[in-house]
Amino acid sequence: MHTAYITHPSSLRHDMGADHPECPARIQAIEDQLIASGLLPFLDHQEAPRATDEMLARVHHPDYIAAIRAAAPDAGLAYIDPDTAMNPHTLEAALRAAGAVVLAVDMVMSGRAENAFCNVRPPGHHAGVASSGGFCFFNNVAVGAAHALAQHGLERVAIADFDVHHGNGTEDIFHDDPRVMLCSTFRHPYYPYSGADSGNQHIINVPLPAGTSGEAFRAAVTEQWLPALERFKPQMLFISAGFDAHREDDMGGFALREADYVWVTEALKDVAARHANSRIVSTLEGGYALHALGRSAAAHIKVLSDL
């Protein structure tokens, strides 16, 4: 089986203004590196569908969904917060980004793909039940996880989030849902200034200091994520794949390299092989140094695809 590669042209049309780090070039940087490395032809290319309001409402309050729809401008930019804005194409991109993860779940659960990578934006892990921010509108990975539970009869799914920022929105959505384990490493104290003391038996938060090396990151995953995942035995594994912990990413302040993303992807594949019939769905979160983002995402996808 192939790795599904799911994206949509709307990801290139959502634009929050000149010099904004969460820019359309992020999508192309990944695709360019997949071309340069020879990986792209071996992936199963799929166009992301729109998520429906029913899918979104599994994780977001209906009033919040309506408010995001109402905020979409006909021209110019509509600011949700000082760092997060909508242009006339943002709503479409956000619906397609969430829909990409739903399609990935359906493909992996049906056996049409062993795993999937969703090269989409806007990212999602800062979007909570009724909150946006951090460049996020709908929580793509949460929409996919909830779809796996609701439509495919799974009882336990896990989300591994190695973005440099805490996935506060994902935690907000699933903090009291023991069917979903969230394993997260993140810089602390740092935006969004959460996660250091809010974990529980199925929310495995691992705050790490500025300057964290690949060695320290690997130790955190080995000592805290992997034992928790072994106990939980997820039937499907999701990855919030943020690559802003790379040493070249000035926004992150960590010191990871491509080899660390290879290592963590291999470790998560081992967990999925033991407990989840190798079912993995990964979706893009952060990563703002374009060359490092492209190389890191390509390394991650290469491990997923066994190429």
Which homologous superfamily does the CATH classification assign to the domain defined by 3-305?
Histone deacetylase domain (3.40.800.20)
Of all residues in the chain, what percent carry a pLDDT higher than 90? Answer: 99
What integer pLDDT is reported at residue 219 of this predicted model? 98
Residue 246 predicted with pLDDT over 80: yes
- The yes-or-no answer on residue 60 being catalytic is no
Per-residue pLDDT tens for 229-245? 999 999 999 999 999 99
Confidence of residue 163 (pLDDT cuts 50, 70, 90): very high
End-to-end Cα, the chain, rounded Å: 12
Output the pTM of the full model. Answer: 0.98
What integer pLDDT is reported at residue 62 of this predicted model? 98
What integer pLDDT is reported at residue 21 of this predicted model? 98
Q: Are 238 and 160 in contact (CB under 8 A)?
A: yes
Look at residue 39 and give its three-state secondary structure.
Answer: coil
- Average confidence score pLDDT of the chain: 98
- Among residues 90, 88, 109, 106, the alpha carbon closest in space to that of 6 is found at 106
Ordered by start, the domain boundaries in the chain are 3-305
Look up residue 220 and give its two tokens.
Answer: 């955190």
Residue 1 predicted with pLDDT over 80: no
Question: 14, 126, 188, 275: which is the annotated catalytic residue?
Answer: 126
Q: Are 88 and 74 in contact (CB under 8 A)?
A: yes
Mean pLDDT in residue range 242-257: 98
Distance of CA 111 to the CA centre of its chain: 22
Rounded CA-CA distance 288/53 in Å is: 30
Compute the Cα dihedral for 270, 272, 277, 280 and give only its sign. Answer: negative
Per-residue pLDDT tens for 258-305? 999 999 999 999 999 999 999 999 999 999 999 999 999 999 999 999
Per-residue pLDDT tens for 37-81? 999 999 999 999 999 999 999 999 999 999 999 999 999 999 999
Backbone φ/ψ region at 16: left (φ over 0), alpha (ψ -120 to 50), beta:
alpha
What integer pLDDT is reported at residue 12 of this predicted model? 98
Look up residue 171 and give its two tokens.
Answer: 């935690």
Rounded CA-CA distance 75/216 in Å is: 46
Per-residue pLDDT tens for 95-132? 999 999 999 999 999 999 999 999 999 999 999 999 99
